[in-house]
Structures are given as structure tokens and as C-alpha cells.
Amino acid sequence: MRLWKLSYTSIAVATHEAAMRQVREICALSGDRNARIGVSSVLTLHKGKFAQVLEGPEDAVRAVLRRIKGDPRHHSLTLVADAPLVARRYTGLAMAYRDPKTFLAEQIDDILQQTADVVRAMKATWH
């Protein structure tokens, strides 16, 4: 089973207040379903835009993304990441909300860690 990471942004249809209510509903309803298929996920909402990270078995992550693409609560979905994953960041979080600052900080931490991993791998090949 290959671990996979998908992340995307999209634009909320509703006002911020209504979209925040929707986020709470999404987290409550999707948590059990994601847990059953082994998907971890975090979601944020900032200035009318959603951002979400999905992690888990590739087939399961892609199935969740297909369902998300059909959700009328947002539009203009843009993939940000679509790649194999070495280790999960969000183990045990089947569907969680993150405030935008925490969400962004976690994404920056991931980018820095990935950069360090690439540099280490490149140095290992140098003679």
C-alpha cells in the first residue's frame, strides 16, 4: 500500500460565517468515513478559500478527492500537491480543522523538511 498526499485550494460559495458552519459539518461527517478508509485530513478556511491536505492510501485519497470535487459548497479547485508520501503528518486526524495560521505553519514545516531530506539524499550521492 503506497501512501499518498493530495492538497488543494478552492473558493467557498457561502459567506465566511456560513462556510465556517459548513466546515464544522464537514469535519463531523467526514471523520468516520475517512477513518474507515485510512485517510488523514486537515482543512482550513481563510478569506473565502478552503485549503485541505489528504493523506493515506493512494486509491482512498483519490476517492475522497473525487467526492470533494463534486461538492457544491466550493468551486475552482486547484491541486497544490499530488505525490507519494514517506510518512504522515496527520496520523490519527481523520478530519480536523486548523486555524489558517497553524495550517500554514504546518505546510511550511513540511516544505522545509522535504528540502532537508532532498539535500541529505543529494549529499549521500556525492563522491
Q: Which domain holds residue 74?
A: 3-98
Q: Is 95 exposed, middle or buried (0-12, 13-18, 19+ CB in 10 A)?
A: buried
Asked if residue 126 belongs to a domain, the reply is no
Is pLDDT of 115 > 90? no
Residue 20 lies in a domain: yes
Q: Which residues neighbour 104 within 8 Å (Cβ) at sequence distance 6 or greater?
A: none
Q: 50-61: per-residue pLDDT in tens?
A: 999 999 999 999
DSSP-derived pairing of the beta strands 96-97 and 40-46:
parallel
Q: What is the DSSP letter of 93?
A: -
Q: What angle, 0 to 180 degrees and rounded to 10, lies between the N-to-C axes of helices 16-37 and 58-69?
A: 150
Any domain includes 122: no
Q: Decide if 12 is inside a domain.
A: yes
pLDDT band at 111; cut points 50, 70, 90: confident
The CATH number for 57's domain is 3.30.70.100
Give dist(CA 14, CA 22) in Å, integer.
Answer: 9
Residue 54 has, within 13 A of its CA and on its CB side, a CA count of 29
- As for how many domains the chain has, the answer is 1
- 118, part of any domain: no
Identify the CA nearest to 6 among candidates 53, 49, 71, 56: 53
| Section 14-21 average pLDDT | 95
Dist. CA 115–CA 87, nearest whole Å: 15
What share of the chain in percent tops pLDDT 70?
A: 99
Residue 115 lies in a domain: no
pLDDT of residue 124: 87
